Structure 1
Amino acid sequence: MSGRPPAWLRRLLAPRSLRKQLLAISLLILSALLLLIGVLQYVLMRDFTYTNRAESMETQIRSVPREFYYDLFNNHYGRSPMTPGDLPPGAERRPLLLDAHTTIAIYSSDGVFKDFQEDTFSEDTAPRLTDEEYSLLLQQNTERTDGDYRLITAADGSEHLAVFMNLGRPGNERLLLQMSVRTGPLTDVIMQQLLIFAGLSVVALLAGFFLYLPALRKTLVPLSNMGEAAQSIDSGNLNIRFPVEQGQSEIDQLAHSFNGMLERLEISFNNEREAKEQMRRFAADASHELRTPLTSIHGFLEVLLRGAAENKEQLYNSLRSMQGESKRINKLVEDLLLLARMDGAPVLQLSALHLGEVLSEMKPQLLVLAGERQVSFDISYGIRGRYDPNKLKQVVLNLFHNAVQHTDTLKGTIHVSLHARGGEAVLTVRDNGSGIAAGHLPYIFDRFYRSDSSRTRKYGGSGLGLSITQSIVEAHGGAISVSSKPGEGSSFRVTLPCLEGLAKPAP
């Protein structure tokens, strides 16, 4: 037989609902506080009641002349009673009016203990201490009313509250007066007060339960709203946000945190989708670029296998065409490898360079590439920084080659300028070519993207030059931008960080 409690009892003892848990915890705390208050009330009320009763008994003792107690004690032992003349002037002997549970007893220093139950008509017998305890009390000063009391257990097991008073020394003996009362009636009064307090506590707990439950339900509404919003969020609708400004700072802070996380997740998912889409386009474009020269080479090989190899002129023409296509494939593979390295962890061979001197070295090569086009240079030779010279030359060649491709052979003009602005070097390559439509500008640096695919293919371009240029520039900590209008030409602007940008004359 299993020792585990039933399921309903486990749910009752450990509710899974946050609202029920908070309600249970609150009621438990309130119950513990009420119990603590009840215990403290019992202790304090008991001491307060006993002290007040003790002071009242002491006052009652002091209201009777001592000679009355002396006479009462002597009469019981056959000693000479006091005559009325022995009483103080104006004092009369009067009976003791005590309640039914109050007792009076006198203890003498010679060990005699006398209970005056018959004289006081008490229903209880006076409790007695040991002789050692009475002797100790006789040595103490008990003549003033201070509320000190002592609890004594009688022979019948009942508890009595007793006060003591030293009656002095008539003759050679000392007398100690003891007045006691059973604590049962006092305890009954205290317990009655505690029962009233317990009833009020139960009423308070029930009222707290019925009042706190709807308030707690209303308080947890923002959390429930967040739960409903969370259930409706998945990878397809990450644009949903948790409600904020609901009037609870903790919930609002949690909502802001979740919204920030959702925003980051949405950006991450969008970047992942964009990366997958770019990878798909990249693979498709790379396959298309490779298929064209491979198809051409395959066609030439079929022609040669059909007998064209016997014709020397056709053989050489085919071989030259296949060589050109193989160069195109080799160039494409090299560009792809370079992009892969730049996308990973680009390794630059940085060294201190003067950008003006790098452009001066490239002037003859650029003029050859330009052909009959007009080329002008505006270069500041005091710009110095740490760059990779080979990569920067590739940037200039790519931009210049792009300008050559899109300008007229005879009427084309290309302008190259290099200046410093603050802590940046600005390289500009401007042409008067066909320009780029506004719809193509946002994608001009995408891989395999062509604004004019027919002209690009005519010059053997693969659509990777500007992507490579952008990767190299960003690896140097710079940026590249383009401005263009159809029919008016294009202007590519490269900014690179520099250490010094003083304008110096051309060497």
Structure 2
Amino acid sequence: MTARTRRLTGRFHAPRSLRKQLLAASLLILSGLLILIGTLQYVLMRNFIYSNRAEAMETQIRSVPYEIFNSTGSRRPGGDRRPLLLDAHTTLAIYSQDGSFRDLQDETLSASPAPRMSSEAYNRLLMLPPDKRGGDYQLITAGDGSEHLAVFMNLGRPGAARMLLQMTVETGPLRDVILQQLLIFGALSVAALLAGLLLYLPALRKTLVPLSNMGRSAQIIDAGNLNVRFPEEQGQLEIDQLAQSFNGMLERLEISFKNEREAKEQMRRFAADASHELRTPLTSIYGFLEVLLRGAADNREQLYSALNSMHGEAKRINKLVEDLLLLARMDGAPRLRVKQVLLGELIDDMQPQLQVLAGERQVVFDLACGIRCLVDPDQIRQVLLNLFHNAVQHTDAAKGIIHISLHAGGELGELAELTVKDNGSGISAEHIPYVFDRFYRSDSSRTRKYGGSGLGLSITRSIAEAHQGEVTVSSTPGEGAAFKVSLPCSPD
């Protein structure tokens, strides 16, 4: 029961609907403002009515005939006093400097006696100048507990005893007027709250439509359709900014999921290609071993032929594993042993090795002098060997021509551009975007008959990127291909 009671209490005290919360908060704020306005109105209206009544009483008190101040004055010839025509709730009294207090109830025919203050209060008033500012008043509590509004007039004359004329009126009727005004204000406030409730609900519902649209959009977004976007132009600045923020987050998530899918696909393709590349030589070795076990080992010629073939396949496996390890190191945190190197001298040193690899193919060198880079020499040799070996594989053994050039590039000569160009079969346009992918082979030019594992160009790109450079390719089918490696030069 206790938990259920807490749930019901929480449901009543804390509405979960944003619309209800905004409505409740708005009505509470409006109610507080109306109460504050009503309080200020009461204070200001009370002071205004009392001040106006005091001014009217001051005018009235000045019209009182002087003879009424004498105890024998204001009498008719027959001995009757002439009454003053005042309101039944108005009293008149005289306080003398000697401390005497005379109530003029008989002259005013007031319904109640005049209230009296302390002698100290009257004496303080007697000390004030006679020309007081209009509207000044004091509140006096009578003996019966009723409150009176009092104004005073100083009747002092030079050389005579000073007297103070007091006129009072009960504040009950004045308070009734104020309370009546407050009741009217309260009724109007309640009507305004009800009208605001009826008008505010549709406006609030319309205001929250953009937020509801975002909620509906969020419900249909999942990992399979991250291309859905929140509406950004709904006419509300804050909602539009929130939608833009969410759309930016969705775009980043979409890119992240896309990259993850591509990475998984590349990993899957890489594992399949690596398994295929390893399975081929292993299958070959396994076949040769079966042949030897069936008796071919007794034949010396067949034995040496099988051993030579297995040795070649083992070298191929070893090269594939080394390439895979090198790529793994380059994908992680490559450790480069960099130093200042003159690239032209490095390529010159490799000319004998490249001539041997070229065989009968013609090799043309065009090397600029003085190009200095901060590189790992062994890695740059690997780049050149990979590109040159690729050119050798795809050019005719007798008519092939391979150009190796080194020049300064960039707008300010800040790049070293190493280009390896051949006159081989070239690469089709649809294959160019994928030539640097691992294990990628085009149907026309990169078949297994040319050898290799399909990792040379991938290794070349990884090494170039590790040196803050890049490698690009341009090719025309039937006219050859040109691979260009751009590396940043070192300042002189």
- Matching residue's letter, 1:440: H
Mean CA deviation greater in 146-155 or 271-280: 146-155
Taking the TM superposition and a 5 Å limit, the aligned residue runs for 1:282-301 are 282-301=270-289
- Could you say what secondary structure the match of 1:416 adopts? strand
Taking the TM superposition and a 5 Å limit, the aligned residue runs for 1:311-460 are 311-421=299-409, 422-452=413-443, 456-460=447-451
Structure 1's 500 and 8: CA in aligned 2 closer, same or farther, altered over 3 A? closer
> How far has the Cα of 1:10 moved from its partner?
3.9
> How far has the Cα of 1:451 moved from its partner?
1.4
- Residue 75 of structure 2 is aligned to residue 100 of structure 1: no
- Residue 230 of structure 2 is aligned to residue 247 of structure 1: no
CA offset digits 1:454-493 (Å, max 9, x no partner): 8643343100000000000111111111112221111112
- Could you say what secondary structure the match of 2:28 adopts? helix
CA offset digits 1:225-271 (Å, max 9, x no partner): 11111111000000011111111111111111111111110000000
Aligned to 1:87: none
- Residue 29 of structure 2 is aligned to residue 63 of structure 1: no
Taking the TM superposition and a 5 Å limit, the aligned residue runs for 1:201-280 are 201-280=189-268
- Matching residue's letter, 2:257: F
- Could you say what secondary structure the match of 2:203 adopts? helix
Mean CA deviation greater in 468-477 or 23-32: 23-32
CA offset digits 1:104-127 (Å, max 9, x no partner): 111122222121222211112211
- Could you say what secondary structure the match of 1:163 adopts? strand
Structure 1's 170 and 366: CA in aligned 2 closer, same or farther, altered over 3 A? closer
When normalised by structure 1's length, the TM-score is 0.91
> How far has the Cα of 1:442 moved from its partner?
1.3
- Residue 456 of structure 2 is aligned to residue 468 of structure 1: no
> How far has the Cα of 1:170 moved from its partner?
8.4
Aligned to 2:48: 48
- Could you say what secondary structure the match of 1:240 adopts? coil
Counterpart Cα distance in 2 of 1:83 and 1:487: 143
Aligned to 2:163: 175
Counterpart Cα distance in 1 of 2:171 and 2:5: 45
Where structure 2 has 5 or more consecutive residues not aligned to the other structure, the ranges are none
Contact 1:293–1:328 (CA under 8 A) maintained in structure 2: yes
Counterpart Cα distance in 2 of 1:251 and 1:224: 11
Counterpart Cα distance in 1 of 2:198 and 2:253: 43
When normalised by structure 2's length, the TM-score is 0.94
Aligned to 1:151: 139
Counterpart Cα distance in 2 of 1:181 and 1:99: 8
Aligned to 2:29: 29
Aligned to 2:174: 186
- Could you say what secondary structure the match of 2:323 adopts? helix
Mean CA deviation greater in 120-129 or 226-235: 120-129
Counterpart Cα distance in 2 of 1:463 and 1:2: 73
Aligned to 1:491: 482
Counterpart Cα distance in 2 of 1:350 and 1:188: 99
- Residue 2 of structure 2 is aligned to residue 11 of structure 1: no
CA offset digits 1:412-469 (Å, max 9, x no partner): 1111111112211111111111111222111111100111488643343100000000
Structure 1's 146 and 246: CA in aligned 2 closer, same or farther, altered over 3 A? same
Counterpart Cα distance in 2 of 1:215 and 1:382: 76
Structure 1's 166 and 455: CA in aligned 2 closer, same or farther, altered over 3 A? closer
- Could you say what secondary structure the match of 1:352 adopts? strand
- Could you say what secondary structure the match of 1:20 adopts? helix
Q: CA RMSD in A?
A: 2.1
Where structure 1 has 5 or more consecutive residues not aligned to the other structure, the ranges are 76-80, 85-92, 502-507
- Matching residue's letter, 1:259: N
- Matching residue's letter, 1:51: S
> How far has the Cα of 1:95 moved from its partner?
4.0
Structure 1's 223 and 3: CA in aligned 2 closer, same or farther, altered over 3 A? closer
Mean CA deviation greater in 374-383 or 455-464: 455-464
Counterpart Cα distance in 2 of 1:491 and 1:471: 18
> How far has the Cα of 1:6 moved from its partner?
6.9
> How far has the Cα of 1:9 moved from its partner?
5.7
- Matching residue's letter, 1:496: L
Counterpart Cα distance in 1 of 2:151 and 2:29: 41
- Matching residue's letter, 1:425: A
- Matching residue's letter, 2:69: Y
- Could you say what secondary structure the match of 1:447 adopts? coil
- Could you say what secondary structure the match of 1:152 adopts? strand
Counterpart Cα distance in 1 of 2:169 and 2:250: 77
Structure 1's 2 and 131: CA in aligned 2 closer, same or farther, altered over 3 A? farther
Contact 1:54–1:148 (CA under 8 A) maintained in structure 2: yes
Contact 1:296–1:325 (CA under 8 A) maintained in structure 2: yes
Q: Aligned residue pairs: how many?
A: 485
Aligned to 1:504: none
> How far has the Cα of 1:172 moved from its partner?
5.2
- Could you say what secondary structure the match of 1:234 adopts? coil
- Residue 39 of structure 2 is aligned to residue 39 of structure 1: yes
Contact 2:426–2:445 (CA under 8 A) maintained in structure 1: no
CA offset digits 1:10-62 (Å, max 9, x no partner): 43432211112112111111111111111000000001111111111111111
Counterpart Cα distance in 2 of 1:499 and 1:225: 57
> How far has the Cα of 1:343 moved from its partner?
0.7
Counterpart Cα distance in 1 of 2:404 and 2:115: 122
> How far has the Cα of 1:500 moved from its partner?
5.4
Contact 1:369–1:401 (CA under 8 A) maintained in structure 2: yes
> How far has the Cα of 1:135 moved from its partner?
2.0
CA offset digits 1:373-408 (Å, max 9, x no partner): 111111111211211111111111000000000011
